[in-house]
Chains A and B, each alone.
Chain A
Amino acid sequence: MMNLLPKTKTGINGLDEITLGGIPKGRPTLVCGGPGCGKTLLSIEFLVNGATKFNEPGVFLAFEEKTEEITINVASLGFDLEKLQKEKKLRLDYVRIERSEIEETGEYDLDGLFIRLEHAIDSIGAKRVVLDTIETLFAGLTNLGILRSELRRLFLWLKEKGVTAIITGEQGDGKLTRHGLEEYVSDCVILLDHRVINQISTRRLRIVKYRGSVHGTNEYPFLIDEEGISVLPVTSLKLDRAVSSERISTGIPSLDEMFGGKGFYRGSSILLSGTAGTGKTSIASFFINEACNRKEKAVYFAFEESPKQIIRNMKSIGLNLEPHIKNGLLQFHSVRPALHGLEMHLSTIYKIIKEVKPTTVVLDPITNLISVGLVNEVNSMLLRLIDYLQGEGITVMMTALMKIMDERTDEGVSSLVDSWISIRDVETNGERNRALYVMKSRGMKHSNQVREFVITNRGLELVEIYLGPNGILIGSEREEQKLYKLKGQELKDQQNRKEMARRRQENAMPKQPKLKSGR
């Protein structure tokens, strides 16, 4: 058996995943980035997690902020540093270096710092150390020769001491850190970044190097919210989740038929694409209603309509969602996409899902999110979301508006989804009808037929399209064909014109309100 590099878990959501187990144990790690990118927070969370989750006490040596300030700053994240200090699980020390108070003359070394650090480490048996940010020394001291050699000695000393350390550094021009700290800390370097693109800010994290270990090399978006930092790996590194072979109904019997009579796989992802007004929301509502009928919890994320609007509209086609909301099975979450950035949307969705633990989730429509992000960003967000949901075994149905949907989004998502239903408008003989077909459905027999999709005030229905001598017959032409079969040619000839006109009117009238409701 080979000796792999031992690692220390940071306990930060997602970071341990992309570093495959944490930062190098007993060695210093450099965390660098511009101002306000979350360096201090990341390092504090590393210590707090160590103290609370892994039974590893930690020392925080602050050069920039006073310990009281830090305590107050992180209290909003639920970190009680005072309590941890009393329990001897954490020790904060503020090293004040004030240029104006200090005069340098002759030779000196930083033994005072070493002694303080050692004293702090030994007093609580610390395994983790944070130096935030040691570069302040460069501002306070003028003798760079001494400083550089002392820093080298400090990092060697930390290694000898066997503590896992995080050293933070301010990003410099064209360099990782302003004073080249990366020269000294060479085991693991993590770069944090805070960018604003199209007025929406995104934080990103990248592992620049990690000696002796494989690691994710991408830039990973991360969030700072009331629970601290969470890094969201774009895709989980493995595809080894459990799969279910249980089938669940779509809520529409005739749609189930198209999927071998049994519907979708549980835990699969379904994409529902179509042009405007083709009834995507209606299908999604029937699907979620069916889940609630099975007494399962479900969450409907609406990015376009308010819950009340959806409920009212669904009532018009004979679907009442209200009882499910009342007994707590169904939850609606309506958010305007522009309310916050994609990452925040993702985290909100994560949080709600963690809280509610649904078996079924509907996202309606995913294409609206493009208004807040670039196409590839939306793509990667959906990728992560689907990944997460599938990992949790949650069935997800997403709707997508085809006209807005960029082909790239399409491709990105379509390779991820298990089943894809497409609805199209078919315009013939002055009528607009809906044609539905299954684009793909992994691992099951599915119909290759195009069906006519009819919305009535009793619900949704799929009708077989007639393939006559003149091609596909849809809408009233199909009705006519049905009549022709039933009553025979003679009768049909007589009634032809009359019947046509009547059917036309019948079809057109009740459809009027539904056109609005069915999105």
Chain B
Amino acid sequence: MAKKQQTWELRLYVAGKTPKSVTALQNLKKYCETHLKGQYKIEVIDLLVQPQLAEGDQIFAIPTLVRKVPQPMRKIIGDLSNEEKVLVGLNIRPVKAI
């Protein structure tokens, strides 16, 4: 992989522990473990607790995954159930042979 040293900063916006949010977090963790092992950080923001943060990242849908680093910022909305779409959306090169 080209950007070996870089740590991926991912932010997941949720609103309480809804089934969609839980699914999204589980899915995200699974993909990161598979494809970005050891070089990612996941921050979960619950907008019910910190509603003021929604404006900054232009959040309107829940759940929303935001890729802060590497730039440019990317957003994926939904429960992240489609692995391929998430990887394309985040621009992660999948680790093939599993």
Contacts and interface: CB of A to CB of B under 8 A. Distances in A.
B60 A95 contact: yes
B4 to A, nearest CB: 25
Contacts of A109: 20, 61-62
Contacts of B77: 102-105, 108
Interface residues on A, range: 20 to 34
A101 interface: yes
A105 B80 contact: yes
A112 B75 CA distance: 13
Contact of A107 (B51, B74, B78, B89): B78
Interface in B23-72: 23-24, 47-48, 51-52, 54-55, 58-64
B54 A108 contact: no
A112 B89 contact: no
B86 A97 contact: no
Which one of A97, A105, A107 has the greatest number of beta carbons of chain B within 10 Å? A105
Contacts of B62: 108-112, 115
B75 A116 contact: no
Contacts of B59: 112, 116
Contacts of B79: 105-108
B82 interface: yes
A101 B73 contact: yes
B73 A112 contact: no
A119 interface: yes
Contacts of A102: 75-77
A103 B75 contact: yes
A140 to B, nearest CB: 9
A93 B55 contact: yes
A112 B88 contact: no
Interface residues of B, number: 32
Contacts of B24: 106
Given A97-B60, A103-B85, A108-B61, A119 B78 contact: no
Nearest to A150: B61
Which one of A93, A111, A137, A141 has the greatest number of beta carbons of chain B within 10 Å? A111
B7 interface: no
A461 interface: no
Given A110-B62, A112-B60, A105 B51 contact: no
Given A103-B77, A105-B81, A116 B61 contact: no
B61 to A, nearest CB: 5
A106 B51 CA distance: 23
Contacts of B55: 93, 116
A112 B54 contact: yes
Interface in A75-114: 93, 95-97, 101-113
Given A105-B80, A110-B61, 13 more contacts: A96-B58, A103-B76, A103-B85, A105-B77, A105-B78, A105-B85, A109-B61, A112-B15, A112-B54, A112-B62, A112-B64, A115-B51, A115-B54
22 contacts: A95-B60, A103-B75, A103-B76, A103-B86, A104-B77, A104-B85, A105-B76, A105-B79, A105-B80, A108-B62, A109-B61, A110-B60, A111-B61, A112-B47, A112-B61, A113-B60, A115-B51, A115-B54, A115-B62, A116-B54, A116-B55, A118-B51
